[in-house]
Amino acid sequence: MMFPHLTEGLDDMAKLTRIPPVTLHLGAHRTGTTTLQRLMTRNAALLARADVRVWGPERTRDGMLAGVVGDPGRVHPRRDVLAHRAAGRVAMLRSEMSRQGVSRLILTDENFLGGLRENLLMGRLYPTAGPRLDRLALALPGVDRVVLSIRSLDTWWASCFAFLITRGFAPPDATTIEAVLRARRSWRDVITDVAAVFPAARLTVWQHEEMAAAPLRACADLSRVAPAAWDGKVLNASRPLDELERRLHDEGCPTTLPQLAGHYAPFTPDQRATLRARYDEDLAWLSDGAGGLIPAPNRPPAEGHIHDRRPGHGRPPQQMDATG
């Protein structure tokens, strides 16, 4: 057992409640997650009328999951005590929801997978996603659907670097870029980690390249409720190149960032091609059924960019059309 004390303490807790069932939205970071979360928050009343509740980062990071979330490498008996209490709080809240007639609870927080700083420091894509989700699953029984959004690795890493610059980090140096290129961990590995933790859950994988521009569609897919009109605002987008350079200058790090068509571009053309090829391999793996994790689609990939594993594995996936 990875967390023996926590596991032993939560065996009985897990029996308290598995309802309402849980949809877990894991992001990932830099895939339009903040915009989607804001849309669901603004439609909370509409969702509530459909007996759907949403816990976003403002709830999942307010201490409710203390001891559950965070670096899985921090082992301390006190943390397991906090995790047990957190599981009890969640169980009681879900029991109350059940009494109120709530039929679905959605948890959306990209930090469940890990943090961008960890990705940067290790030069790898969510290296601790499996242990983090193991811990979450113990405290949150009844997850029957998991949704993950993925993005081409060259633009995903570039967006991560740009975001971290706005948080006081220096631009990636040659060593960091080389570490990213050497690491063979890709979305395929992240998806495999997620599926291993939630083997009975329906697993849906969105492609950022289509879904980021369609938060209404994403919200409807998550909740099965058509939200009110979106105001069109994209939140937490990468900052313009000149703004990044000004920030670095103000922090005592004057530099000219590499650019492509006026956008920050930390990779050379050959490096971008390497990362894109890796992403293409991930998409091909998904379209072929992801090693049995997701049944192969019975329509050409061009007709949709959602890969869906349903419980039981025997039924073909349902892909959304252009209208969601």
**Going residue by residue through the chain (324 aa), what tens digit of pLDDT does each one get?**
344 445 555 555 555 567 899 999 999 999 999 999 999 999 999 999 999 999 999 999 999 999 999 887 777 778 889 998 999 999 999 999 999 999 999 999 999 999 999 999 999 999 999 999 999 998 999 999 999 999 999 999 999 999 999 999 999 999 999 999 999 899 999 999 999 999 999 999 999 998 988 999 999 999 999 998 788 889 999 999 999 999 999 999 889 999 999 999 999 999 999 999 999 999 999 999 998 887 654 333 333 456 776 554 333 333 322 222
Q: How confident is the model at residue 219, as a pLDDT?
A: 95
How far is Cα 80 from Cα 72, in angstroms, rounded to an integer?
11
Give me the residues paired with residue 204 across strands.
Answer: 147, 308
How far is Cα 28 from Cα 22, in angstroms, rounded to an integer?
18
CB count within 10 Å of CB 75 equals 12
Q: How confident is the model at residue 313, as a pLDDT?
A: 39
Q: How confident is the model at residue 157, as a pLDDT?
A: 98
Q: How confident is the model at residue 220, as a pLDDT?
A: 95
107: burial class by Cβ within 10 Å (0-12, 13-18, 19+)? buried
Q: How confident is the model at residue 11, as a pLDDT?
A: 52
Q: How confident is the model at residue 301, as a pLDDT?
A: 37
The position carrying tokens 């490096």 is: 271
How far is Cα 307 from Cα 296, in angstroms, rounded to an integer?
9
Cβ neighbours of residue 31 closer than 8 Å, sequence gap 6 or more: 149, 150, 151, 156, 206, 208, 211, 212
Cβ pair 159, 283 in contact under 8 A: no
How far is Cα 184 from Cα 249, in angstroms, rounded to an integer?
34
How far is Cα 33 from Cα 218, in angstroms, rounded to an integer?
10
Q: How confident is the model at residue 120, as a pLDDT?
A: 95
Cβ pair 68, 139 in contact under 8 A: yes
Q: How confident is the model at residue 310, as a pLDDT?
A: 57
Query: CA torsion sign, 87 to 218 to 314 to 19?
Result: positive
Cβ neighbours of residue 122 closer than 8 Å, sequence gap 6 or more: 179
* Element containing residue 5 per DSSP (H, E): helix 4-10
Q: How confident is the model at residue 257, as a pLDDT?
A: 95
How far is Cα 87 from Cα 64, in angstroms, rounded to an integer?
9
What's this model's pTM, rounded to 2 decimal places? Answer: 0.87
Q: Name the residue among 225, 238, 213, 240 with its Cα closest to residue 36.
A: 213
List domains and CATH numbers for the chain: 4-152+185-238+280-309 (3.40.50)
What the block records as the tokens of 285 is: 């793996």
Q: How confident is the model at residue 48, as a pLDDT?
A: 95
Q: How confident is the model at residue 16, as a pLDDT?
A: 54
70: burial class by Cβ within 10 Å (0-12, 13-18, 19+)? middle
Cα-based distances in Å from 136 to 85, 206, 293: 13, 22, 21
Q: How confident is the model at residue 311, as a pLDDT?
A: 59
Backbone angles phi, psi at 140, to 5 degrees: -135, 70
Q: How confident is the model at residue 68, as a pLDDT?
A: 92
